[in-house]
Amino acid sequence: MVLEFPLTVAALALFGIADPNLYRTKLWQNGADQGFNSSPIMILYAFANYKPIAVPLVWSSFMTTWNVIISVLSMFILLVKSVMWVMHIFIPLVSLVVHGTLIALYAIAIRNQSAPDLLDPDHPAKGLPWYLSKGCSYATQANKGYCMQARASFGVTCVMLALWSIYFLLSLYSLIPTTAERTSREADIELRKLGAYTPDEPEMSREAQRDANRQLFLNLPKTPTTPWGRSADNPMTPRTVAFTQLNGGSNGNASGRVGLGADLGARAGPRGGLPFREQWNGA
């Protein structure tokens, strides 16, 4: 894009300066004076006599307008393409379509600028226009600058067409996956198959999957690890420890609670009765 930006700006400037008819008719008349092509006066004679006549494509306003349109479109595509490239979404397939379209547009532009002039049978121009085939040495002093601009416009158009062709070939080559890309793609497909595989319910509906997930959540342990516990599986809370100590470590087992929490509660309290409680119970 570093090369594409100045070329696009140059094309936009050259084609915009030439529009609508800065030097097209002047170069046409200059070539007619040298006997290289037809004369624009023939168009006036035909219109005056109400005769149908077609302006040669190389001297027509369609050529100038077409160049302006494709230059503006190229700048717009460059801006959009830059944003897509930064966002990593300018994939090779999109690049192939975009640059294929630009190749067709610029090929037509080159055809317009190099079209023959066969309007005058006495002075036919079957090849390139005179300012491209013979140079600017035949241009008048007033038209030398215009001749250079016309040649520069044709040169920029050819370079842009070559650039689009390189982009097109590069996009076409990028569509072919490499061995590493194929291996990575196959690995992704295998992981998706493993993730979608359910041996118990191969055709489980969405509601059934939601119920299964809910049951899985309800079966999780309800008491997390506490910082005051002696082990990771200790379900004791501070309140349970306090009541166990007040009961002398016997009520927890006497009430029928069996397990790790009851054993830990029994070991947490004193092994004998509390002196204060025994004194008042005896009274």
Within 8 A by CB and 6+ apart from 235, the residues are 223, 229, 260, 261
Q: What pLDDT is stored for residue 78 in this prediction?
A: 95
Per-residue pLDDT tens digits for 41-83: 999 888 888 888 899 999 999 999 999 999 999 999 999 999 9
Q: Is residue 75 part of a domain?
A: yes
Q: Is the pLDDT of residue 278 over 60?
A: no
Higher pLDDT, 251 or 91: 91
Instruction: Give the per-residue pLDDT at 262.
Output: 46
3-class DSSP assignment, residue 258:
coil
Which amino acid belongs to residue 241? V
Span 166-205, pLDDT tens digits: 999 999 999 998 888 888 888 878 777 666 555 555 556 7
pLDDT at position 187: 80
Q: Which of 195, 174, 58, 185 is nearest to 113 (CA)?
A: 58
pLDDT in tens, 97-111: 999 999 999 999 999
Q: How many domains does the chain have?
A: 1
How far lies 129's CA from each of 97, 116, 117, 125, in Å?
32, 7, 8, 7
Task: Write out the H or E segment, with its range, that includes residue 9.
Answer: helix 4-18
Cβ-Cβ contacts under 8 Å for 75 (sequence gap 6 or more): 8, 9, 12
Handedness of CA 246, 251, 253, 259 (dihedral sign): negative
In a domain, 242, yes or no: no
35 part of a folded domain? yes
Domain that holds residue 88: 3-178
Residue 47: the pLDDT is: 86
State how far the Cα of 252 lies from the Cα of 263, in Å rounded to an integer.
9
236: alpha, beta or left? (left if phi > 0; alpha if psi -120 to 50): beta
Residue 117 and residue 110: Cα distance in Å, rounded?
A: 15
Structure confidence by residue, pLDDT tens digits, 21-42:
999 999 999 999 999 999 999 9
Does residue 69 fall inside a structural domain? yes
Does a structural domain hold residue 258? no
pLDDT at 281: 53
Q: In whole numbers, what is the pLDDT of the chain averaged over residues?
A: 81
Q: Is residue 18 part of a domain?
A: yes
Evaluate whether residue 62 is within a structural domain: yes
Q: Is residue 187 a part of any domain in this protein?
A: no
